[in-house]
Amino acid sequence: MTATELVQAYYTAFNAGDMPAFLDLLTDDVVHDINQGEREIGKATFAAFMDKMNRCYRERLTDIVVMQNADGSRAAAEFVVHGEYLADDEGLPPANGQTYVLPAGAFFAIKNGKVARISNYYNLNDWVAQVG
C-alpha cells in the first residue's frame, strides 16, 4: 500500500467510525502532535484521545486530498471538517450541538506501512468563533 493509500484508508476508517480499523493503521509508538497542544506518544494514548474526541464531537471529513513524497515516507492531507460539538471539551466553550465547517490539514510520517506520526492543523480561533 502506498502512503497515499494508507492515509486514504485512515480517513475512510475515521469517517466510518471504525476505531479498530483506524487504530490498526498506526504504529505502536505513533507520535501525535495535537493542534495547538501537546505531543503524545503511543497507540493507547492516541486511542484515549480518540475516545474523548468521539464523546465531544461528531465529525465527517470531505474534500480530502492526499499527497506523498517520492519514497512514500511522508504524506500530507488537506480536507474540510464538518462537525457537531456534542459535549463540553475542557478549556473550550460549552457544547450544545453547535455545528461547524473548518478547513484542516495533517502531516504524516510513514514507517513499515503504518502511520508513525500525525500532526493535525486547523484554525482554532475560527472553530471557537463558529461554536461560541
- How many domains is the chain partitioned into structurally? 1
Tens-digit pLDDT profile for residues 34-54: 998 899 999 999 999 999 999
Average pLDDT over residues 82-105: 96
Q: Which domain holds residue 71?
A: 3-131
pLDDT score for 37: 86
Tens-digit pLDDT profile for residues 64-88: 999 999 999 999 999 999 999 999 9
Q: Retrieve residue 33's grid coordinates.
A: 502532535
Q: Retrieve residue 64's grid coordinates.
A: 480530502
Whole-model pTM: value is: 0.93
Tell me phi and psi for residue 86, to 5 degrees. Answer: -95, -40
CATH number at residue 17: 3.10.450.50
